[in-house]
């Protein structure tokens, strides 16, 4: 950046410093912030579009409220980069999403200005209800009264939890300022965008009936003249008022004001200061432009550079995208669902080819999974494409709505295992632990590009219950046809000789590290067999029989070690009467910070050297 371009940003050490600037200076500051975010995110990766859209809004919020005394909650937290720059973290901003650097989400460990790390959407209004209740109970009144501010995107407002929060805020009269950041998008264009679904009344049956009735009355008049037409317009406005946002929110006991231009600092500041004086909850509806001020983001019609990631040709996601389209040609009843993430989960090609067989349910994972159960009951073959971490929000539906009814829904979990840069809330380390407890479920974990496609095609043939197919964010290795398994069978990759000393059972991407560890052990004259488990549930009986006589059986997975695939293998071998020592290697029970995925795995001992070292230790016991 040029010297003159950073006249103001470097002077902002805390939010109160913003109050020393006039509105012309604030506009220059906003431009500096945009340039800074673009500069850093293009190097580190991250959420670009959402943060470019909230620059002026964030400035106005921090000029209107006293953070951290007033609690500001971001929903979701990926739109908090501007907030970080204004709350003392600009000097370290280059470390965004880097190991040991600042998080891409709010972090209570980083700053007292960050109240929650909420990278899963639709939670802010519940947090706000709780904090407001706590502040009220503390007895702080008058000028000392603390305010809770929830900044919620209209995408996050598609989640049912947000409506539960709204209902409770209104019922209890909580003193909360709700800033509805309306940019028409969550990741991709928002499904059921509040502003459209409530304001576009032409598709509302009640409104249509009223309109038709009024037209008939006018047409029956002797003189259907301009006066009558004006009367019709006035009456239509009155009918419409019942269904627009003011009435919607106020029927819940929540005041509403807006919409306002979210890029007009002065106007938003005035509105927020007025709203903060309202007793009880109030919605301030602001309209912003995602990606504002950066042409590549503004021109990105798919997701306005929500993030800087793209689907790589060597990724597991790309393998899924290819095979999904292929399967759709053979299965006319196949439908694909996602929760507001068609791009990141690899569904764009399918959507383009089969738009009538594609469903985006918005940020509503519970609804999506239950809906998939209904689709399966009706004869469709639903494929639910979702991040591993987001499936945890719908485990109840997977268990009771899909599993208990033995519906053949295929769940394709992207970002399973350690995902890296997005931190603890995005690591997909719970899916094997949770899903493996569901009766009748099939769980598959591919170790290569080709394995994923083979497994998906087989999953399409399973009709007696749900199938979970999980894969990581990291690149998928390419293998030859003779290195691809079949069906639900495990595959012996390396035969370790006749001594039966050590056998490694590797899950998914961990196969490659297990093979490398085997090579190290061979140099130490430790004969080691390696199996690709492939099917986590049900486990391959022939694999279990083959490894039961080994001295040491080591399981390696990229999910939680406690209760995951290794635990299932250990229990199965125990039931068989195996005397083998079982060593389970996986992710510890901890919230793992952000960093590069393979670097994190290495730090946890889940790389070639770490596996070999652990086996040597186990043999000495």
- pLDDT tens column, 75-107: 988 899 999 999 999 889 988 988 888 888 888
Residue of 34, 290, 357, 534 marked catalytic = 290
pLDDT reported for residue 304:
46
Catalytic annotation on 393? yes
How many CA atoms within 13 Å lie on the side-chain side of 42? 10
Cβ atoms of residues 75 and 122 within 8 Å: yes
Q: Read off the DSSP letter of residue 507.
A: -
Looking at per-residue confidence, does 95 or 411 come out higher? 411
How many CA atoms within 13 Å lie on the side-chain side of 371? 16
Query: Average pLDDT for residues 105-117, to the nearest whole number?
Result: 90
Question: Is a pLDDT exceeding 60 seen at residue 556?
Answer: yes
Question: Is a pLDDT exceeding 90 seen at residue 463?
Answer: yes
Cβ atoms of residues 65 and 385 within 8 Å: no
Element (H, E) at 325: helix 316-330
pLDDT reported for residue 213:
61
Cα 601 to Cα 510: distance, rounded to the nearest angstrom: 10
Cα 505 to Cα 610: distance, rounded to the nearest angstrom: 15
Among 218-222, 401-405, 498-502, 554-558, which stretch is predicted with the lowest mean pLDDT? Answer: 218-222
Q: Please, what sign has the CA dihedral across residues 263, 265, 266, 267?
A: positive
Residue of 393, 415, 470, 491 marked catalytic = 393
pLDDT reported for residue 619:
94
- The residue ranges of DSSP E strands in 109-254, in sequence order, are 148-153, 176-182
Mean pLDDT over each residue of the chain, to the nearest integer:
87
Question: Is a pLDDT exceeding 60 seen at residue 297?
Answer: no
Question: Is a pLDDT exceeding 60 seen at residue 308?
Answer: no
Query: Average pLDDT for residues 243-255, to the nearest whole number?
Result: 78
Closest by alpha carbon to 383, among 436, 485, 476, 459? 459
Q: Which CATH number fits domain 492-620: 2.40.37.10, 3.40.50.720, 3.40.50.920, 3.30.1330.20?
A: 3.40.50.920
Among 131-140, 419-428, 519-528, 592-601, which stretch is predicted with the lowest mean pLDDT? Answer: 131-140
Question: Is a pLDDT exceeding 90 seen at residue 530?
Answer: yes
Query: What is the DSSP pairing of strand 535-537 with strand 442-444?
Result: antiparallel
- 3-209+241-289 fold: Rossmann fold (3.40.50)
Cα 306 to Cα 40: distance, rounded to the nearest angstrom: 15
Q: Read off the DSSP letter of residue 315.
A: B
CA 577 vs CA 436, 538, 548: distances in Å = 22, 18, 8
Same fold: 316-481 with 492-620: yes
Q: Which CATH number fits domain 316-481: 3.40.50.970, 3.20.20.70, 3.40.630.30, 3.30.470.20?
A: 3.40.50.970
Cα 233 to Cα 14: distance, rounded to the nearest angstrom: 50
Question: What ranges in 98-155 are assigned the alpha helix state H?
Answer: 124-137
pLDDT reported for residue 617:
96
Q: Please, what sign has the CA dihedral across residues 237, 241, 242, 244?
A: positive
Query: Average pLDDT for residues 351-364, to the nearest whole number?
Result: 95
pLDDT reported for residue 243:
47
Q: At what angle do helices 55-64 and 265-275 cross, to 10 degrees?
A: 40
pLDDT reported for residue 216:
64
Cβ atoms of residues 369 and 219 within 8 Å: no
Looking at beta carbons, which pairs linking 269-278 to residues 24 or more positions away fall under 8 Å?
Answer: 269/60, 269/63, 269/64, 272/60, 272/61, 272/64, 272/65, 272/177, 272/179, 273/64, 275/177, 276/64, 276/65, 276/147, 276/177, 278/177
Which percentage of the chain shows pLDDT scores above 70? 85
- pLDDT tens column, 479-515: 999 999 999 999 999 998 888 899 999 999 999 999 9
pLDDT reported for residue 436:
98
Catalytic annotation on 202? no
Would you state the structure tokens that stand for residue 256, as one six-digit string?
């509403």
pLDDT bracket for residue 205 (50, 70, 90): very low
pLDDT reported for residue 421:
84
Among 275-284, 467-476, 501-510, which stretch is predicted with the lowest mean pLDDT? Answer: 275-284
Where do the structural domains in the chain lie, given as residue ranges? 3-209+241-289, 316-481, 492-620
Question: Is a pLDDT exceeding 50 seen at residue 58?
Answer: yes
Catalytic annotation on 599? no
- The residue ranges of DSSP E strands in 289-369, in sequence order, are 334-338, 358-360
Residue of 56, 211, 255, 365 marked catalytic = 365
């Amino acid at each position: 950046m040029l010297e003159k371009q950073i006249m103001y940003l470097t002077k902002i050490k805390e939010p109160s410093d913003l109050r020393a600037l006039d509105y012309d200076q604030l506009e220059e500051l906003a431009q500096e912030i945009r340039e800074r975010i673009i500069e850093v995110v293009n190097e580190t990766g991250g959420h670009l579009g959402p943060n470019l859209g909230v620059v002026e809004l964030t400035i106005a919020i921090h000029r209107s409220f006293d953070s951290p005394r007033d609690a500001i909650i971001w929903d979701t937290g990926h739109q908090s980069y501007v907030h970080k720059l204004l709350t003392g973290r600009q000097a370290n901003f280059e470390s965004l999403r880097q190991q040991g650097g600042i998080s891409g989400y709010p972090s209570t460990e980083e700053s007292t200005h960050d109240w929650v790390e909420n990278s899963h959407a639709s939670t802010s209004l519940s947090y706000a209800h709780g904090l407001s209740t706590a502040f009220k109970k503390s007895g702080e009144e008058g000028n000392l009264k603390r305010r809770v501010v929830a900044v919620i995107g209209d995408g996050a407002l598609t989640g049912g939890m947000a409506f539960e929060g709204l209902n409770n805020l209104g019922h209890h009269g909580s003193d909360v300022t709700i800033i509805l950041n309306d940019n028409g998008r969550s990741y991709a264009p928002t499904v059921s965008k509040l502003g459209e679904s409530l304001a576009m009344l032409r598709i509302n049956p009640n409104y249509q009936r009223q309109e038709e009735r009024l037209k008939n009355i006018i047409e029956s008049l002797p003189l259907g003249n301009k006066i009558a037409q004006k009367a019709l317009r006035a009456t239509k406005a009155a009918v419409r008022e019942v269904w627009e946002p003011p009435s919607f929110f106020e029927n819940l006991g929540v005041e509403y004001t807006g919409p306002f231009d979210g890029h007009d600092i002065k106007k938003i500041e005035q509105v927020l200061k007025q709203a903060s004086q309202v007793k009880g909850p109030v919605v301030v509806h602001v309209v912003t432009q995602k990606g504002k001020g950066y042409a590549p983001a503004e021109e990105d019609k798919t997701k306005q550079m929500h993030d800087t990631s793209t689907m790589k040709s060597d990724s597991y996601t790309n393998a899924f995208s290819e095979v999904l389209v292929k399967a759709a040609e053979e299965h006319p009843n196949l439908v694909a669902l996602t929760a507001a993430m068609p791009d990141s989960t690899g569904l764009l090609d399918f959507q383009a080819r089969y738009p009538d067989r594609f469903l985006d349910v918005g940020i509503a994972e519970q609804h999506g999974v239950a809906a998939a159960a209904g689709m399966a009951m009706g004869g469709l073959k639903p494929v639910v494409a979702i991040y591993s971490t987001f499936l945890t929000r719908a485990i109840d539906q997977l268990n009771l709505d899909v599993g208990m009814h033995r519906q053949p829904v295929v769940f394709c979990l992207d970002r399973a295992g350690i995902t890296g840069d997005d931190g603890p809330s995005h690591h997909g380390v719970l899916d094997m632990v949770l899903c493996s407890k569901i009766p009748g479920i099939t769980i598959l974990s591919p170790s290569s590009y080709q394995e994923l496609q083979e497994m998906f095609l087989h999953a399409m043939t399973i009709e007696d219950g749900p199938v979970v197919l999980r894969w990581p964010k990291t690149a998928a290795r390419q293998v030859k046809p003779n290195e691809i398994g079949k069906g639900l069978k495990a595959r012996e990759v390396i035969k370790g000789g006749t001594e039966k000393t050590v056998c490694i059972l590797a899950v998914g991407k961990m196969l490659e590290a297990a093979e490398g560890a085997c090579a190290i052990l061979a140099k130490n004259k430790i004969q080691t067999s390696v199996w690709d488990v492939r099917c986590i549930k049900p486990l391959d009986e022939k694999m279990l029989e083959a490894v039961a006589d080994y001295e040491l059986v080591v399981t390696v997975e990229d999910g939680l070690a406690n209760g995951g695939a290794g635990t299932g293998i250990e229990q199965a071998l125990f039931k068989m009467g195996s005397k083998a020592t079982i060593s389970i290697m996986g992710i510890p029970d901890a919230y793992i910070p952000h960093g590069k995925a393979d670097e994190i795995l290495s730090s946890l001992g889940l790389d070639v050297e770490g596996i070999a070292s652990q086996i040597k230790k186990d043999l000495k016991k």
